Amino acid sequence: MNRAARKLSRPVRAVVLAILVHVAVGALLGLSLRIQPKVVQPGVAKPVQAIVIDRSAIAAEKKKAEEKKRQEVEKKRRAEEKKQKEAEKKRRAEEDKRKEAKVKRKAEAEKKRKAEEKKRKQAEAKRKKEAEKKRKAKEKKRKEAEAKRKQEAEKKRKAEEKKRKKAEAKRKKEAEKKRIAREKKKREEAERRAVEEAREREEQEAYSALRAMVGEIKGKIEDNWSNRMACGGQEVTISVKVALSGEVESVQVLGGIADDACRRSAEYAVWKASPLPFPDNPRYYKWLDTEIQFIFRP
């Protein structure tokens, strides 16, 4: 800025100097016009030097000086205007620069604000995302725990239901088993009673038949006991085992009050009566393995 001022001050000084010179010349000319001729005292007269003044030349010079002065003033004004314009231009440039700087600062501040806002939003979005992620994870964990609890409860319920059904099936099976056992027992009892009744009837019939058979056997033995009088007043118990054909297989004198002669005669009578009258009927087969006892009292 000082360098530009120095460049502008040189022509200004020249203009001012020219104006001062012209003013001085004009002042001298004006002063010379106002000088009155001195009164010549009588005495020795001195020669007078006359000065011829060309008024038109002076006017032209004055006009020239004024024109030059005007031009210089105009030049100065233009220089001043130029200076002012340059100053205004500089001011505007500085203002534009200041505005640009302000706009730039504002833009940077806005950019910074937007960046911070973006950063804040990103941080907020990240926080929300993390919070949502945590919430979802927590919700997932809760649902998984709830599902696990329900699954375990369902599993427990099914196990209990299975256990209950199994127990119920077992109870029913046992009840059915007991019922079947009772029914079986009843049937067996009925069968047993029927068998017993049949056996009793059979035994009664067999006993009746056996009594008749024993009577016949005893009668045949007595018929073949020729020495029966040897046992007079004595008692002999004889056990006889017979075959299906009635053949005597064994004879044994068990006891009684009898002497040896009576015993031998009784045993001989049994062997002599063989075959004994044994019925050819299957229901009497069981008697084949049984010894038939007879008591003789001749």
Count of other CB atoms within 10 angstroms of residue 2: 6
SS3 46: coil
- Per domain, the residue ranges of the chain are 2-31+59-115, 224-296
What pLDDT shows up at residue 139? 92
**197 φ/ψ sector (left φ>0, alpha ψ -120 to 50, else beta):** alpha
Average pLDDT, the chain: 77
26-37 average pLDDT score: 54
SS3 47: coil
User: Using one digit for the tens of pLDDT, what is the confidence trace for 6-29?
Assistant: 544 565 566 667 677 666 666 666
Q: Which of 267, 250, 249 is nearest to 258 (CA)?
A: 267
213-225 average pLDDT score: 79
**Stronger pLDDT, 140 or 226, i.e. the higher one:** 140
CATH no., domain 224-296: 3.30.1150.10
Sign of CA dihedral 208, 209, 212, 215: negative
Residues 18, 68: contact at Cβ < 8 Å? Answer: yes
| pLDDT at residue 4 is higher than 60 | no
88-115 average pLDDT score: 86
What pLDDT shows up at residue 35? 45
| pLDDT at residue 40 is higher than 50 | no
